[in-house]
Amino acid sequence: MKIVADDTIPFLKGIAEPEAEVIYLPAKGFTPEAIRDADVLIVRSIDKCTPALLSGSSVQLITTATIGFDHIDTHYCETHGIAWENAPGCNAPSVGQYVFASLLALALRRGETLEGKTLGIVGVGHVGREVERLASTWNMRILRNDPPRAEAEGQKGFVSLEEIATESDIVTLHVPFTREGRYPTYHLAHAEFFQMMKRGAWFINSCRGAVHDTEALIQAKKSGIVGGIILDCWENEPDISPELLGLSDLATPHIAGFSADGKATATRMCLEAIERFFHIRFSRLAEVTPPAPVCPEIDLNGFADHRVARAFLQTFNPEIVDKRLRNNPSQFEYLRNHYDHPREPKAYRVRNATTDEQKLLEKMGFHAG
Chain Cα centroid distance, residue 327: 23
The whole-angstrom separation of Cα 237 and Cα 239 is 5
Q: Which of 208, 268, 307, 343 is catalytic?
A: 208
Q: 191-229: b or e for each residue (b if 16 or more CB lie within 10 Å)?
A: eebbeebbeebbbbbbbbbbbbbbebbbebbeeebbbbb
Q: What is the pTM of this model?
A: 0.90
The tens digit of pLDDT for each residue in 81-121 reads: 999 999 999 999 999 999 999 999 999 999 999 999 999 99
Distance CA 270, CA 66 (A): 9
Within-domain flag for 165: no
Q: What is the pLDDT of residues 259-310, one digit of tens each?
A: 999 999 999 999 999 999 999 999 999 999 999 999 999 999 999 999 999 9
Which entry of 237, 275, 333, 362 is annotated as an active-site residue?
Answer: 237
Contact 319, 325 (CB under 8 A): no
The question of whether 254 is a catalytic residue gets the answer yes
Mean confidence (pLDDT) of the chain: 96
Q: How many CB atoms lie within 10 A of CB 81?
A: 8
Identify whether 39 is part of a domain.
yes
* 333: annotated active-site residue: no
- Counted domains in the chain: 1
Residue 167 within a domain: no
Is pLDDT of 70 > 90?
no
**Residue type at 327 in one-letter notation:** N
Give the per-residue SS3 of 220-235.
HHHCCCEEEEEECCCC
Task: Specify if 15 maps to a domain.
Answer: yes
Chain centre distance of CA 224? 27
Q: In this predicted structure, what is the pLDDT of residue 337?
A: 84
To the query of whether residue 112 is one of the catalytic residues in this protein, the response is no
Which class for 3: exposed (0-12), middle (13-18), buried (19 or more C-beta within 10 A)? buried
Rounded distance, CA 1 to CA 278, Å? 9
- Residues 6+ positions from 363 with CB-CB distance below 8 Å: 137
CA dihedral sign of residues 224, 229, 233, 236: positive
What is the rounded average pLDDT of the residues 250-258?
Answer: 95
d(CA 153, CA 38): 42
Tell me which residue range forms the domain holding 15: 2-86+259-287
Report percent pLDDT > 70 for the chain.
Answer: 100
Q: Is residue 98 part of a domain?
A: no
d(CA 326, CA 342): 20
CATH of the domain at 66: 3.40.50.720
Note whether residue 251 is domain-resident. Answer: no
| 346-354 mean pLDDT | 97
CA distance 368 to 357: 9
Tell whether 152 is covered by a domain: no
Confidence of residue 67 (pLDDT cuts 50, 70, 90): confident
Q: Which of 144, 212, 254, 268 is catalytic?
A: 254
pLDDT, position 194: 98
Closest CA to 282 of 40, 24, 60: 40
Q: Residue 272 domain-assigned?
A: yes
